[in-house]
Chains A and B, each alone.
Chain A
Amino acid sequence: MRWLLRKDLLILGRSRLLLALLIVYPVAITLLIGLAISRSPSRPRVAIVDETPPGETVKVGDQRVLVSAYARELFDQVQAVDVSSRAQAVAKVESGSVLAAVVIPPDIAARIASDTEAAQLEVLYNGDALEQSLVASTINSALAQANLAFSAQIQQAAGSVIGSLLSGGNLGSIGAPENLIGLTQIAPTLGSVIARQPRGHDRTQLERIDTFAGFAAQNLSLAGRVLSIIGQPIRVDSVLLHGRRTPLNTFAVVVAVDLSLMLVCVLLAAGGVALEREEHTLARLIGAPPTPSGAGGALISRETLLAEKTLLAAGCAFVLAFAMLAGIGAFVTLDWGRVGQWLAALALGAVAFAALGVAIGALARDVRAASLLAFLLSLPLAFLALVPAGSVSGGFYDAIGAISFVFPFKAALQALDAAVNGASPAIGLPLVHLAVLSAVFGALARVGLRSVE
């Protein structure tokens, strides 16, 4: 095997394009992923057209909330690009310089203040279905957060009015009476007056007022909490049953590394075996009669040939994938304390992918067919393995699950996710799965090499 391995490394070294690709690919992908994750704009560029008159307010009780405060909340959720008219906003959306435009109409304050009409914003965007979905989701999310913040301001204003009603004092607004008595002060003040009052109709009336003031003060003090519940009636408290939370960034890293591992392994292994057929050397290697030493009926056994191709492809892809993971570690925080698990996941994943590659190579007649088959088989399977539960019908998801189960991508992804992120399931099961798949594809490759012609 040593001489075969040396031969293949020599050939690999002389295939300058392939060699360059093997070096440039991980560097390029690492930089792209790293920069995409670390430098991604957290806020989308959105044009804002504020058509409300300057200083427009919404009256809440005796207080007024500036409409521009609402716009400010919206601006905080997006990267705001100020435009003065709707026409300019439309032009910017059409040119693609902004993701979308939000138009705040001049009558928004009147609509908020009215009891009959809901305030409306106009959102403008274009693009394909994917882009539209992304824009709609982004803008809806931004508006929801802005609404929440605006609601909090209204709650705060309403709370302040309620506080004044309870505690009394100066409300601070023009025309409001000074040193106003609060509801909570009525009961003790009225109590001393009632105590001095003789029994009779007047005292009874005062006692009724006292009872009402006590009741009103007691219940109005609850209004603040009620308002906050109305502002956000449902809060989310998520509980993860298995594993630990995987940040989306590091999961994206795992997917990228798994994809790279798969492509390099499958293509190198498939191409390596197919090259022997294409160069007509397969028959010389594994189809020849016994050697003078009596070691066997061929120069090398079919198993040795397959093991050599698997080792070469898995070795190259392992080094490449580890370099990628380490490189991405410069951009994203990864737990280097789990490096032993990373290596195990990458090694088993590489062997399983290489076994799939040699099986493809053994069945194909030449390098082009092998490469094409490797691409056509690998990419859709990787895509299927990434389809989340609930996004397709139950029966279809089960079918996807069964297909993903018999190919190494999903098992390698689970192993790598468990190794890098501590995700569930634990790493042991995917590793066993990968070992079994390696054996199965190795056996398939062995069958594929029955004919050497």
Chain B
Amino acid sequence: MSAVLRVSALGKRYGELDALRDVSFEARAGELIAVVGPNGAGKTTLLSIVVGIQRPSAGTVERGGAGKVEHGGADEVSPVAGPGRRPRVAGRAGWRVGWAPQSPALYSKLSVAENLELFARLEGVADPRAAVARMLEQTGLGERAREPVGRLSGGNRQRVNVALGLIGEPPVLALDEPSASLDPGQRERLWQFLATRVAGGTTVIFSTHNVTEAQRYATRVLVLAQGRLLFDGPPQTLLASSPEQEQGDERDSGDLERALVRFLAEREPGPT
């Protein structure tokens, strides 16, 4: 299966600070990729460049050229972003990466349905009302459709936030710490919802501090530290790199966290 997203030698500098250095990876359709790492590792910077909010200082972000993808992978990749330039579109092949930032990006005075319809129209969705109805059904927000977003709970706001990221049916959805403000029940519902999207072929990339979530739901883990990509592989591989795992259950929720801490202690690059 070919890549739906290809990130090559990505770098980002803020003055003297290297927020990202030579980060490269590929994402295929239907993957659920967790980006983990300590604070300041560059997780949010990586995602914001992938979705096009920030420009990279070096490297490129290329996306599969199949446009709207619901089930299955993209056929080829086309360059969309490079150093010092805005992401550009390669003919009809261009599509946008869905985006759900950590702080919900919603109009609090508008209702759930009005928020969804506005962004469906701005994204040029062919039938905005049908897309809104579909998204309300998929997120279970139908009963709250007319309620102003400002009155929703944090969990429901996050669901609307994710729904906005998906309203244009993008092949790739990026989420920045999507479960940070959710209680366990809301978190569970969110991952169930995302799992159905992944099963449908959508690629999901999310950043998180919660290694348990990464271990439980992700098919791949990217470990970032000081802007460098230190690990790219399945959680099991990371877990296996820890000596303790030889004796225990490799899917034990606590162990990946311990494995990550050990891994970072051994591999984290020193200050340059």
Residues of A near any B CB (own CB < 8 A): 3-4, 7, 10-11, 14-15, 279-281, 283-285, 287-300, 452-453
Instruction: Find chain A residues with CB under 8 A from B87 CB.
Output: 289-290, 297
Q: Determine if A7 and B89 form an interchain contact, defined as CB atoms under 8 angstroms apart.
A: no
Among A7, A289, A299, find the residue whose CB has the most chain B CB atoms closer than 10 A: A289
Interface size range of chain B in the complex = 35 or more
State in angstroms the CA–CA spacing of A251 and B52 once bound together.
52
B95 to chain A, nearest CB (A): 5
A149 to chain B, nearest CB (A): 66
A205 to chain B, nearest CB (A): 110
Instruction: Find chain A residues with CB under 8 A from B95 CB.
Output: 289-292
Q: Determine if A291 and B108 form an interchain contact, defined as CB atoms under 8 angstroms apart.
A: no
Instruction: Find chain B residues with CB under 8 A from A295 CB.
Output: 89, 124
Residues of B near any A CB (own CB < 8 A): 48, 51-54, 63, 67-68, 80-81, 86-89, 91-92, 94-97, 99, 101, 103-110, 114, 118-119, 121-124, 148, 164, 168
A5 to chain B, nearest CB (A): 11
A292 to chain B, nearest CB (A): 5
B202 to chain A, nearest CB (A): 15
Instruction: Find chain A residues with CB under 8 A from B67 CB.
Output: 292
Q: A289-B51, A290-B80, A292-B67 known; A3 and B121 CB under 8 Å?
A: yes
State in angstroms the CA–CA spacing of A3 and B117 once bound together.
10
Q: Determine if A15 and B109 form an interchain contact, defined as CB atoms under 8 angstroms apart.
A: yes
Given contacts A281-B105, A290-B52, A297-B87, 9 further A-B contacts (CB under 8 A): A3-B118, A280-B104, A281-B107, A283-B101, A287-B53, A287-B54, A289-B94, A292-B94, A294-B89
Q: Determine if A280 and B118 form an interchain contact, defined as CB atoms under 8 angstroms apart.
A: no
Q: Determine if A3 and B122 form an interchain contact, defined as CB atoms under 8 angstroms apart.
A: yes
State in angstroms the CA–CA spacing of A14 and B146 once bound together.
14
Q: Determine if B52 and A453 form an interchain contact, defined as CB atoms under 8 angstroms apart.
A: no
Q: Determine if A293 and B97 form an interchain contact, defined as CB atoms under 8 angstroms apart.
A: no
What residue of chain B has the Cβ atom nearest to residue A14's Cβ?
B109
Q: Determine if A7 and B123 form an interchain contact, defined as CB atoms under 8 angstroms apart.
A: no
Q: Determine if B54 and A453 form an interchain contact, defined as CB atoms under 8 angstroms apart.
A: yes
State in angstroms the CA–CA spacing of A14 and B88 once bound together.
37
Q: Determine if A292 and B52 form an interchain contact, defined as CB atoms under 8 angstroms apart.
A: no
A283 to chain B, nearest CB (A): 5
Q: Determine if A283 and B124 form an interchain contact, defined as CB atoms under 8 angstroms apart.
A: no
- Pick the residue among A279, A281, A285, A297 that contacts B89 (CB under 8 A): A297
What residue of chain A has the Cβ atom nearest to residue B111's Cβ?
A10
Q: Determine if A297 and B107 form an interchain contact, defined as CB atoms under 8 angstroms apart.
A: no
Instruction: Find chain B residues with CB under 8 A from A452 CB.
Output: 53
Among B94, B99, B103, find the residue whose CB has the most chain A CB atoms closer than 10 A: B94
Q: A3-B118, A290-B87 known; A10 and B109 CB under 8 Å?
A: yes
State in angstroms the CA–CA spacing of A285 and B53 once bound together.
10
Q: Determine if B124 and A297 form an interchain contact, defined as CB atoms under 8 angstroms apart.
A: no
State in angstroms the CA–CA spacing of A364 and B135 once bound together.
34
State in angstroms the CA–CA spacing of A15 and B150 once bound together.
13
Q: Determine if A290 and B96 form an interchain contact, defined as CB atoms under 8 angstroms apart.
A: yes
State in angstroms the CA–CA spacing of A400 and B97 once bound together.
51
State in angstroms the CA–CA spacing of A15 and B122 once bound together.
23
**Leading 5 A-B pairs by shortest Cβ distance:** A289-B52, A290-B89, A290-B94, A287-B53, A280-B105
State in angstroms the CA–CA spacing of A298 and B55 once bound together.
13
State in angstroms the CA–CA spacing of A294 and B81 once bound together.
14
What residue of chain A has the Cβ atom nearest to residue B102's Cβ?
A280
